[in-house]
Amino acid sequence: MSNNLPHKFLRYNYSSLQIHEARKIAQYVINHYKEPVGNTSISQYNKMKSFRIDWKDSKGTNHTGQVHFNELVDHICCTRSLDVKRFNFPTLQCNWLDCAGLAIMRNFHILEPHNEPVKLALQTPFGERFPLKPGLDREGLAYASFQIPIQKNLVYLHKQVVGESEHSVTADPRWLNNLRLLINECISIVDITLHQLYSAAEYGIKSAWKFDLGKLNKKPGMRITDKFHWVGQITERPLDNAKSEIDSFNILRGIRNHLNHFEPACFAATAEDVMDWLNRVPKIGYLLWKIREKLEAQLTPELIEIMLLPEVAFYQKDATRLRLSQPEDSGYSSCIDLKKAPAEKGENINN
């Protein structure tokens, strides 16, 4: 019987997750539930029979989550995420970065018997002095932070591009649009994190942080790579351990610029090019983690999912046929000036 299913050129390789990565994530999450941030090591957690987290919800009700460290690690390995409800842990987020509960969805304008609308406004995490308060007086939506929507979208789009990879060799605009948006979101999520850090420092949400307007040198149109300096300048903890992640960020940034501005106006990409781009997306998750580590900021389930996205592999239709290495005059490298393309080399961002 013939198989009429479309051939998937890209597929996830669900090989076992490296357990040391899951251990580091579990350690980080637990330590950053503590105030001040804890420094318990992985070996110390392993020696405990179990550990507990006591917390209060928004209504003041007391809760306790208790689990063995290895059970938490196994859960991360199996799900490639972290479902905190399973362990009765508090919401996994950084309050000032993610603001997961601060949003308005409104489906009305004026309610009887009133003759004027009631305006709803959000308080941002940057305090009363912050000049903007997103608000609605009619149908619409508003967010105090767009972190979580972008994080969710990154995971969704990555799975869509892989799951519908039969269209990587067709003219279907939906698949290509998903790919373009995925690469855009990779850059946007880093940019928004750095801008939130700048605002948090400017409006003094952490007294230990430094805000030197002249040194930070924020200006319209500045390069995002220059904004990486803000991490060290504000926290006095330079982002000096993210070379590999920034290399991948710069590669995706160059592709994002091409796909947005189309200079040059032509474009080409092999399925193997796309495979390489998709395998750089988890690096964006790790870059965000390393930035958050400098800020002493908690992770989110979505960021953990981005970091732990499975490796993407390419499959040709006939595995028995000869396959040669891709030359520079084929695929993406054939439609760009390689001398001007972002190089895979680290930048000095320690200042």
pLDDT at 221: 83
pLDDT at 87: 95
d(CA 263, CA 281): 23
pTM: 0.93
* Amino acid, single-letter form, for residue 181: L
pLDDT at 320: 87
DSSP-based three-state secondary structure for 330: coil
pLDDT at 257: 94
d(CA 32, CA 289): 12
The pair of structure tokens assigned to 232 is: 């060290």
pLDDT at 343: 52
d(CA 225, CA 190): 10
Provide the residue-wise pLDDT of the chain in tens; the chain has 351 residues: 456 889 999 999 988 778 999 999 999 999 999 989 999 999 999 999 898 999 998 889 999 999 999 999 999 999 999 999 999 999 999 999 998 778 899 999 998 888 899 999 998 999 889 999 999 999 999 999 999 999 999 999 999 999 999 999 998 899 999 999 999 999 999 999 999 999 999 999 998 999 999 999 888 888 998 999 999 999 999 999 999 999 999 999 999 999 999 999 999 999 999 999 999 999 999 999 999 999 999 999 999 999 999 999 999 998 889 898 999 999 999 998 877 766 544 444 443
Angle separating helix axes 271-278 and 173-202, nearest 10 degrees: 30
d(CA 306, CA 288): 10
Cβ atoms 21, 3 nearer than 8 A: no
* Amino acid, single-letter form, for residue 18: Q
DSSP state letters, 244-287: HHHHHHHHHHHHHHHHHH-SSS-----HHHHHHHHTTHHHHHHH
d(CA 227, CA 298): 21
pLDDT at 297: 97
Angle separating helix axes 281-295 and 243-261, nearest 10 degrees: 120
d(CA 64, CA 54): 4
pLDDT at 301: 97
d(CA 241, CA 78): 28
pLDDT at 345: 44
DSSP state letters, 137-199: SSSEEEES--HHHHHHHHHHHHHHHHHTGGGGGS--HHHHHHHHHHHHHHHHHHHHHHHHHHH
Burial of 287 (0-12, 13-18, 19+ CB in 10 A): buried
d(CA 156, CA 278): 13
Angle separating helix axes 147-163 and 173-202, nearest 10 degrees: 160
